[in-house]
Structure 1
Amino acid sequence: MSDAPAVTVPEAVAGLPAALAGLPDPRARRGVRHRLVVVVTAAVCAVVAGYRSYTAIAEWIADVPAATALALGIAPDRRPSEAMVRRLLQAVDPDLLSAVISGWLARRTVATPSAGRRAIAVDA
């Protein structure tokens, strides 16, 4: 058992939506049901949780509790489909996305107060 306090979604993704807000949305404005920031934030959370494929990411999004979905900005009864997640993530500029997420992670390591040893591991 760990003595570390539980980390909630708002704490875990603090600042990520703001960091992603500058990403250009590659989709046409017509028919957009889920904001780019919301889908990419959820996808980042899924990947951090160990889900790697588009199908696995969509399953994570579909399976999170309603409170988590709401914290991510997703209506619990209207979650993004696997096809939408896949198409959107494939259309986003990968270099720009990587730079935005890397910058966010770098700021998190500086902004997090040291309460013992903490590390953020990121596979490239």
Structure 2
Amino acid sequence: MLNAEQMRMLPQCFTMVSDPRRAHGIRHRLPVVLGIAAGATLCGMRGYKAISDWADALGQKARERFGCRREKGSYVVPSEFVIRDCLVRIEPDALDRALNAWNAAWGEERRCVGTRWQDHEECH
């Protein structure tokens, strides 16, 4: 389980990752998409569908903490397609650096963040 502060901090770690998508039509900021994907992975989700289902199950307060955009009075999470598209197109080394930064900040509290989205028993 992620606490409120960890939810807020995950997207912040991805602000330096370059967005490979064209600027036209972007509805979800890259740090938000990557933060949600990382949060889902930390909570044991594996695969794009599981990450998307986890995101869909987030309550409005959690969506706000991750920095999701508001649409018609509700916070909206990225779709499975957007999550997959972002994860397959970003620079892996940039993702590793961002995850390592989060791990440096929160690693003592949660020892389950490693490079390349490693599986660790402590996360389950």
> TM-score higher than 0.5 here?
yes
Name the residue aligned to 1:78.
76
What SS class does the counterpart of residue 61 from structure 1 fall into?
Answer: helix
Q: Which residue of 1 aligns with 2:122?
A: none
Over residues 1-43 of structure 1, what are the superposed CA-to-partner deviations in whole Å (9 max), with x where a residue is unaligned? xxxxx9632x224543332111000000000000001111111
TM-score (normalised: structure 1):
0.77
- Residue 58 (structure 1) shift: 0.6
Larger Rg: 1
2 CA distance for matches of 1:53 and 1:7? 19
Q: Which residue of 2 aligns with 1:120?
A: 111
Check if 1:17 corresponds to 2:15: no
Q: Structure 1's 19 and 78: CA in aligned 2 closer, same or farther, altered over 3 A?
A: closer
RMSD: 2.1
Secondary structure of the equivalent of 1:32?
coil
Within 5 Å, give how 1:33-112 maps onto structure 2.
Answer: 33-74=27-68, 75=70, 76-109=74-107
Aligned to 2:3: 8
The runs of 5 or more residues in structure 1 that have no matched partner are 1-5, 113-117
In 1, Cα distance between equivalents of 2:46 and 2:40: 8
With over 3 angstroms needed to count, the CA separation of the structure-2 counterparts of 1:66 and 1:32, relative to structure 1, is same
TM-score (norm 2): 0.77
**Which moved further from structure 2: 53-62 or 92-101?**
92-101
SS of equivalent to 1:34 = coil
Identity within the alignment, % = 30
How many residue pairs match? The answer is: 111
Answer 1 or 2: which has greater strand percent. Answer: 2
- Identify the residue that residue 3 of structure 1 maps to in structure 2: none
